[in-house]
Every structure is written in C-alpha cells, then in structure tokens.
Structure 1
Amino acid sequence: MSAAVRARLAMTLAAWLAAFAVVMLLLALFGDLLAALPLAARAAVISGVLVTVMVNLVMPRLSTVISRWAGAPRPGTPPPGAGERVRS
C-alpha cells in the first residue's frame, strides 16, 4: 500500500473518530438543552459546532500527525529533488 493511500485511509478513520468524539461530548454536555429543541434545530446546532471544531481545531492537527506517520508529503510541499538543478 502506498504512503498516499495509507495516509488517506488513516485520515478518514481519524476524522470519523474525532467527529464521533466531538458529537458525544456535545451530547454529554448539552444533551438536555438540545433535547428541548426540534430535530432540525438540534441537527443544525450539532452539525454547525461539529464542522467548526473539526475544520479549525481537529483536522489541521490530525493532518500533520497523520502525514508524518504515513510518510506522505504535506500539501504544498514540493516533491524530493524538485529544487535541485539538473547538470548537463
């Protein structure tokens, strides 16, 4: 399995686990307050907080850790040898 495929699979699993943890935390902390809201409002609040937390806090850190673990280059990083001059 290539490093890129390994990184993609690891990122998918890590994102799902992180999202699950964030939703569980929200429900544990605010479940009683959210229960009073209609279903659509509950879904809007939970998904809004989830996306905000995932995009701004969780995924930047996870992507760095997983790319190091998988050996995949970080986005925007030139491939090895890209800056070298070719001698003729």
Structure 2
Amino acid sequence: MTQAVDHQISCVAADWRAPMHWVAVATPSDTLDLAFVTRAIRANVAGTIKVDLYTGGSVTMNFAAGETRSVRATRVYAAGTTATGIEVMA
C-alpha cells in the first residue's frame, strides 16, 4: 500500500452503492493486511487474486484484464495471486 488511511478500517459499513473515495495499488503480501478494508478490487492484467475476506476465510478469484469486483477484503496474498496491476478501492 502506498499510504494508510486510518478512518477506513473503522468505516467498514459504508454504503456499498456510494462512489469509491480511495484507490491504492496493492502490494500482495502473505503476512501484511491492507491498510483498509476494500469495497472493490481491480486487476489490470488477467489472473488469479487470493484474498482474505472481511467476514472470514480466504478465496482465490479469477479476474479478466480490467475487471473490477465488489469484494470486502483485508489482505491480498502474494502466493496464489498471478494477476498484476491490482488496485484496491474503498
């Protein structure tokens, strides 16, 4: 992550229909959580993205190039992630 946004961590109940107000390039890590809980994830280059979900557990998703999905995630893993140019939004 390029910059932490403290208020995002406690603001997990934001209306999912509201526009995104924070976008950052994700650096996948097997040990570090994101600086905020995401509302969406975008893969600029196709591949898989493995994440920890806000509600618990983890999932590996297949993304097409340029695809954006609504996902409440707390971590983007390096292992299990092949997509690149990953952006996380809140």
Question: TM-score when scaled to structure 2?
Answer: 0.19
Instruction: Please identify which structure carries the higher strand content.
Output: 2
Higher relative contact order (CA 8 A, sep 6+): 1
Instruction: Please identify which structure carries the higher helix content.
Output: 1
